[in-house]
Structure 1
Amino acid sequence: MTTEAVAPGAVWSAALHAEVQQFYAHQMQRLDLGEARAWSLTFTEDAVFDVPTLPEPVRGRAGLVASARRARAQLEAAGERHRHVLGMLDVRPLPDGTVAVRAYAVVYATPVGGASRVHRMCVCEDVLVRGTHGGLLVAHRVVTRDDLP
């Protein structure tokens, strides 16, 4: 296995990169399928989710569930589906055991019965931690949009 030091005391590995990719595949599908509770469980209890479409950061799983359900209801009312695709993952393990990830997020919007279009292009910056069962969880997420100053 190839490894490369990325910070004092931290080592990048292909296995970690693959684990992070799988984590995001699972997480984004939960969101896009409208599984708000399951999506919230991919975050820590006290997670912070900072996205420019909301007036202030969402804090904690209960807030994440409420926010995801509101967004889902708005999409259903508009007759539209969204798909979140994360790519270009820059995975950086840190000496404290957390993992910093910077990724590009493309949000595709598809009106039911219509053609898909790129809705938003974003940058997603996460701090991932290990949960009590060893899996990854988002402790802090900041999303920026390319179309906003």
Structure 2
Amino acid sequence: MREANPEEYVEVLRFYARQMSLLDRLDLDGYAQTFTPDGVTHHVHHGQKLEGRDALLAHASQALPRYRDVTARHWNDHYIVDVAPDGKVQVSYTSLVTVTDAEGRVRFESTFAVDDELVRLDGRLHTLSRTIVRDRPAAR
């Protein structure tokens, strides 16, 4: 495993900019297409594992009514990008979700630590697996 070079790093940032833009616009089909057909999303804090695009779409569609009258934005940062010898890209980052209502009031949702494994399909990056863990205070 090695650190991504600058070109690879920028490619990953562009991938997430497109992927999150699709999600924020509620283009669920477009968002699902950024995953491999067998892609897995594991919401650790819910004990939920979604396998494949169909499961991802069903889950996102079920959550859709919550976001119909607001604007959600995903703010991701602190990317650590490593490339494996087989070309898979390991990415760790943090995510914050904001929700803005019709009056312009902004609500912060939970923050998350996310670990992704990206692969190339037809020359483009796609998410093969995503593990999402909601932040909680450290045990003392």
**Same-fold call, TM cutoff 0.5:** yes
What is aligned with 1:3? none
Tell me how large the CA RMSD over aligned residues is. Answer: 1.7
What is aligned with 2:136? 147
Contact 1:31 1:68 in 2 (8 A): no
Aligned length: 138
1:86 aligned to which of 76, 95, 100: 76
1:105 aligned to which of 79, 89, 95: 95
**Which amino acid in 1 is paired with 2:42?**
D
What is aligned with 1:59? 51
Give the direction of change, closer, same or farther, for the CA distance of 1:89–1:115 in structure 2 (3 Å limit). same
Under a length normalisation based on structure 1, what TM-score does the superposition of the two structures give?
A: 0.85
Under a length normalisation based on structure 2, what TM-score does the superposition of the two structures give?
A: 0.90
Tell me how far apart the structure 2 counterparts of residues 70 and 23 of structure 1 sit (CA, whole Å).
Answer: 25
1:33 aligned to which of 25, 40, 51: 25
What is aligned with 1:135? 124
Partner secondary structure for residue 66 of structure 2: helix
What is aligned with 1:4? none
What is aligned with 1:72? 64
**Which amino acid in 2 is paired with 1:81?**
T
Contact 1:50 1:58 in 2 (8 A): yes
Contact 2:80 2:92 in 1 (8 A): yes
Contact 1:34 1:69 in 2 (8 A): no
Tell me how far apart the structure 1 counterparts of residues 45 and 25 of structure 2 sit (CA, whole Å).
Answer: 20
1:90-114 CA-to-partner distances (Å, cap 9, x unmatched) read: 0000112100000011111122213
2:9 aligned to which of 17, 29, 50: 17
Structure 2: state its 5+ residue gaps.
Answer: none
Partner secondary structure for residue 122 of structure 1: strand
Partner secondary structure for residue 4 of structure 2: strand
Partner secondary structure for residue 113 of structure 1: coil
Identity %: 30
Partner secondary structure for residue 57 of structure 1: strand
Partner secondary structure for residue 113 of structure 2: strand
**Which amino acid in 1 is paired with 2:123?**
G
